[in-house]
Amino acid sequence: MGNTNILGNTIRQARMEKGITQEGLAEMVDITTIHLKHIEGGQGNPSINVLFKLAKALDFSVDSIIAEKDISENDGLSEALKSNILYLLQKCTPAELRLIADIIKDIQKNRE
């Protein structure tokens, strides 16, 4: 898969992993099958509303797509990475957060 159609490829892969047809997914998010084919093929982009409906229907994170694109293109790496880390941190327990904080402190000490 090339980096030129990360969104479409992500949607297609998630849809196929869930065993949902293009017709079924299009109906779930209230768009036409043709529109979904264009999105998956990289010839069109969904509106923000449709993007969030697709993410919800397929259980993927919109943030992860944005971060993956920025990281893979080395464009906006820092901001995309921070966004992705913040998203992941929200799912951590307090004990996990303390451990992560200790690891970051150790990394910073070793860098100095």
DSSP 22-81: HHHHHHHTT--HHHHHHHHHTS----HHHHHHHHHHHT--HHHHHHHHHHHTTSSHHHHH
Q: How confident is the model at residue 80, as a pLDDT? A: 59
Kindly state the tokens that stand for 111. 């860098």
pLDDT at 71: 39
Kindly report the number of other CB atoms within 10 A of residue 10's CB atom.
22
Which residue positions in the chain have pLDDT lower than 70?
1-4, 64-81, 83-84, 112
How much is the pLDDT for 39?
93
- Note whether 33 and 26 are within 8 A (CB): yes
The pLDDT value recorded for residue 37 is 96
pTM: 0.56
Euclidean distance between CA atoms 52 and 62, whole angstroms: 7
- Model pLDDT, residue 78: 61
